[in-house]
Structure 1
Amino acid sequence: MNKTMGEIWSLFGSKIASILVMWAMIERYMPRYFRALTDRFSQKLDKLLNPYIEIKFFEYSGNYMRSNDAFSAIENYLSSKSAAQARKLTCSATRNSLVLKVDDYEEVIDELKGVKLAWSLRKIVPVDKSFSSFEKIYYRLTFHGRHRKFVTKTYLKYVLDEGKAISMGKRQRKLYTNGGGEYSDKIGKWSHVIFEHPATFETVAMDPEKKKEIIDDLNTFKNSKEYYAKIGKPWKRGYLLFGPPGTGKSTLIAAIANFLSYDVYDIELTAVKSNAELRKLLTGISSRSVVVIEDIDCSLKLTGQRKTENEKDETEDGAVGVVKKQVEESKEEKKTQVTLSGLLNFIDGIWSASGGERVIIFTTNYVEKLDQALIRRGRMDKHIELSYCGFEGFKVLARNYLNLESHQGFEEIRGLLEETKVTPADIAENLMPKVGNEDPERCLERLIQALKNSKEEATKKIEKEKETATIESSGEDSPMEIGDEVKTSDPKMKNKKKDA
């Protein structure tokens, strides 16, 4: 009797199910050595049926999510191949060009010395959405098993060398941060944008001699890999930039990154909750990078215990309960914050060797508030003070903003700059044209007037300070204005004042 197709498939399915059940029972009760034999047999059968080998190159490696230099090199290498072959591409734009990359799961065929290989970009998407789970991105290389030796000995070295060579020329440099982005809530995860800051040493307004000193120091560092290995020190250099606000610290950082062609990692310490998280974050920083912590003096946990102005006022007014509560909350918060020792361990401790060719930069407006252990030589190797604008700095800004190399008003500006303290940011604001085609003459006139006003304000301030000092030295009380309150610690006097 002829059976229908449905009955045949039903019978076939029941037989397969029976075989799987029997195999599960055999696996459970068979001796361990017999199970090993079956495993070897299945592996040989798999090689016979599928002779291709796969190698995965993940974007991050290890438990500390350290950037994989091989992944970046492969990405650069495939960018030239994917534009000509792939049907699905992703595009990103820079100031000077468009960068095309292979899209997810799109395959690109490469060939070297007659050997064909296949590349594809893939993802491992986590099933759960837990705190520590996120997508893992990797490049997969597939090739025939008979080419194993050629791939491991020759081809991979060729790809990595070519990728690094491309990165030196036209790669997109990135600005990383831990304070935002899609994965900002994931420990050790960086988010990034394309770094396109236009600052260079030619446009930085600072003393030419100091500028040359920094450039020479950077060149020496960049070419000293063998020297650092010889003396047994990690290949890194620390810079401390300090000075009043508006003196160009951030601009100098951008100029350093552009000069070295390094990526920039801007660390937001307030977003880091523990030393362990900081360690995991910092080990994810790639080589050839500028690591920046701006305004480090603003973190109480790194600069010692300092009361805020509000706390001081509350103490003077006798609000002991409020201050005590704030201190307790501060102690509780401190348990989950980065400590000075945790940061120092990465900068100059055993963890400082976790990456090479790094420039670490701290900035501060108040260098005297920093712990000396943080800024000593060997950690912050070079201290650079960025002060108020001088005449040489002004000439750089005049060239940048007005395209002027010289002008009859320069001598007057030179004299005013010697008599007053003005930041490069203030100079730049006055030199910038306020309308589309504003005459450079008007910009210079506006600057000269601003410098005169600043000089007058400084003179008045000095005269007032001298007057106050004279009154204090003579022992006379300063005149009390109407509405001033008499401050006293005598509670009886306070009560009389209230009754009145």
Structure 2
Amino acid sequence: MATMGQLWANTGSTLATLMFTYTIFRRWFPHVGDHLEPFFQRLFSRFYPYIQIKFHEYSGEHFKRSESKATSGIQSYLSKDSSLRAKKLKANTTKGSKSLVLSMDNREEITDEFESVTVWWQSKKVRNTRQSFSFYPAADEKRYYTLKFHRRDREVIIERYLDHVMKEGKMIKMKNRERKLYSNTPGQNHRNQTKWSHVTFEHPASFDTLAMEEKKKEEIKNDLVKFSKSKDYYKKIGKAWKRGYLLFGPPGTGKSTMIAAMANFLEYDVYDLELTTVMDNTQLRSLLIETSTKSIIVIEDIDCSLNLTGQRKKKKEEEEDGDEKKMKCEGEKKESKVTLSGLLNFIDGLWSACGGERIIVFTTNFVDKLDPALIRKGRMDKHIEMSYCGFEAFKVLAKNYLDVEESELFDEVKRLLEVEGIKMTPADVGENLLPKSEGEEGETCLKRLVEALKEEKEEAKRRVEEEVKRKIRREGK
């Protein structure tokens, strides 16, 4: 007795013969064929066990044509298998991609499996017989993908598989994209403006090269990973999918490097927001709306960006701090009308929920100067102190700069940093470790660092003595 598979094979063979005969018949008798076509289509669909879905490369017509998001997602999804399975490939230089994308060439077919269901994908191309003018290259051709699956699997494909393809394709496309460093351009008007300009983000910083204690780095990395995987959790608790980081510490402690390492670790874009060029709260909100998901929004030196540090202080306290603040924030611009309230709404107001998967980072050299409302938990969720160089951070720098992991001078450096408590920033330590000439040995660079640490010790001692003398003179008056 014939098996079910043999019956389907025989049926398929018979249908194929009928369709071939019908095609020849229609070629010679086109008008009669038009009348018979509905009959053959119904006959074919009744016995043919497979369903096909067609995805066109472009949607719309003529001047309104645009690349289909569905086809773009499918191409990205299939690219991971095309290079391994397909025999004929085509290489695309997709706009915004950091590398070539390999996809199936015309008439190639690959299979895919999902929940024990097998599907077939095929890339096709047909010529457009109608003459029409178009700016698109190869406008006389229509490219599309076809998805074929058994009719018994319709529910799995329609309800779950297509959604899976779109999500995976989007993730692959985001991973392969060329990441950007954005900045807001000064002097923009409100009517016709390009809010962000960008360059390719190519900063080489990573957590491996970051001068910081290993335990602290792991804590930050774990926090970032947890955030990036918490979309459903944030939705569950009713909060916008964002997280705030406050990086504080003296200049040269690696705050900007930390931001670059975070961006490279998560593969996010970076938006460097210069508040002093933002005219008012409305423009600040517009800038936020224009940022993309999977991004880090950075406001560096928040204590010097605008007059946001003392808006809740009494007038007398503001006057006392005025001269000191003026010296530290000499470059501050006064024409911006961005307020503390506007910035708070930017961070966690209703508009902050437009989009998702964003990290907002503030950096400051003087955390005590900031308004508590600006840095409370829920706005700046994680506070990270970027401190002076410790021995563990020094070892990372010695490995980075000199490729040295052990030396007799390490004990002396450890004594000076930990026992003597000499304060030197990672930037200054790195500068002393940097070879000054070709062929300069690592031991020479380490000795230079030891001498610099000893000089810093003497300099710190002199500063203390001078401060004592100034205090005595003030008290004497």
Q: Same fold (TM over 0.5)?
A: yes
Aligned residue among 212, 215, 225 for 1:219: 225
CA distance in 1, matches of 2:97, 2:351: 36
Q: What is the deviation of 1:390?
A: 0.8
CA RMSD of aligned residues (A): 4.4
TM-score by length of 1: 0.62
Q: 1:172 to 1:164 in 2, by over 3 A?
A: same
Q: Is the 8 A contact 2:206 2:261 kept in 1?
A: yes
State the Cα deviation string for residues 30-65 of structure 1 (Å, max 9, x = none): xxxxxxxxxxxxxxxxxxxxxx96287989xxxxxx
State the Cα deviation string for residues 116-143 of structure 1 (Å, max 9, x = none): 479xxxxxx9xxxxxxxxxxxxxxx978
Residue number in structure 2 paired with 1:449: 451
Q: Is the 8 A contact 1:76 1:171 kept in 2?
A: no
CA distance in 2, matches of 1:461, 1:351: 48
Matched, 1:374 2:370: no
Q: 1:218 to 1:181 in 2, by over 3 A?
A: farther
Matched, 1:426 2:432: no
CA distance in 2, matches of 1:110, 1:298: 59
Q: Is the 8 A contact 1:187 1:281 kept in 2?
A: no
Q: 1:411 to 1:157 in 2, by over 3 A?
A: same
CA distance in 2, matches of 1:272, 1:191: 14
Matched, 1:351 2:357: no
CA distance in 1, matches of 2:402, 2:325: 48
What one-letter code is carried by the residue in structure 1 that aligns with 2:302? I
Aligned residue among 209, 213, 226 for 1:207: 213
State the Cα deviation string for residues 153-210 of structure 1 (Å, max 9, x = none): 9998576335324235433222122237999995363222221211111111112222
Q: What is the deviation of 1:411?
A: 1.1
Alignment of 1:22-101 (within 5 A): 54=60, 98-99=99-100
Q: 1:72 to 1:385 in 2, by over 3 A?
A: farther
Aligned residue among 148, 166, 176 for 2:172: 166
What one-letter code is carried by the residue in structure 2 that aligns with 1:396? V
Residue number in structure 2 paired with 1:464: 466
CA distance in 2, matches of 1:383, 1:275: 26
Q: Is the 8 A contact 1:188 1:284 kept in 2?
A: no
Residue number in structure 1 paired with 2:255: 249
Matched, 1:268 2:274: yes
Q: 1:312 to 1:370 in 2, by over 3 A?
A: closer
CA distance in 2, matches of 1:279, 1:412: 52
Q: Is the 8 A contact 2:89 2:102 kept in 1?
A: no
Q: 1:430 to 1:301 in 2, by over 3 A?
A: same
Q: What is the deviation of 1:283?
A: 1.1
Q: Is the 8 A contact 1:174 1:192 kept in 2?
A: yes
CA distance in 1, matches of 2:346, 2:230: 21
CA distance in 2, matches of 1:75, 1:177: 31
What one-letter code is carried by the residue in structure 2 that aligns with 1:459? K
Q: Is the 8 A contact 1:257 1:290 kept in 2?
A: yes
Q: What is the deviation of 1:271?
A: 2.2
Q: 1:93 to 1:221 in 2, by over 3 A?
A: closer
Q: 1:235 to 1:69 in 2, by over 3 A?
A: farther
Identity of aligned residues (%): 55
Q: Is the 8 A contact 2:184 2:197 kept in 1?
A: yes
Q: What is the deviation of 1:232?
A: 1.0
Alignment of 1:88-237 (within 5 A): 98-99=99-100, 113=121, 116=124, 160-167=166-173, 169-179=175-185, 186-187=192-193, 189-237=195-243
Q: 1:245 to 1:310 in 2, by over 3 A?
A: closer
Q: 1:89 to 1:217 in 2, by over 3 A?
A: closer
What one-letter code is carried by the residue in structure 2 that aligns with 1:258? N
State the Cα deviation string for residues 474-500 of structure 1 (Å, max 9, x = none): x3x6xxxxxxxxxxxxxxxxxxxxxxx
Aligned residue among 278, 284, 300 for 1:294: 300
2:440 aligned counterpart, secondary structure: coil
Runs (5+) with no aligned partner, structure 1: 1-51, 60-67, 103-107, 119-124, 126-140, 314-328, 478-500
State the Cα deviation string for residues 403-449 of structure 1 (Å, max 9, x = none): 11111011111122233211000000000111122111110111111
State the Cα deviation string for residues 75-104 of structure 1 (Å, max 9, x = none): 9679999x9658x9688896xxx54799xx
Tell me the matched-pair count: 366
Q: What is the deviation of 1:401?
A: 0.6
Residue number in structure 1 paired with 2:417: 417
What one-letter code is carried by the residue in structure 2 that aligns with 1:369? K
Q: 1:271 to 1:170 in 2, by over 3 A?
A: same
Q: 1:453 to 1:70 in 2, by over 3 A?
A: farther
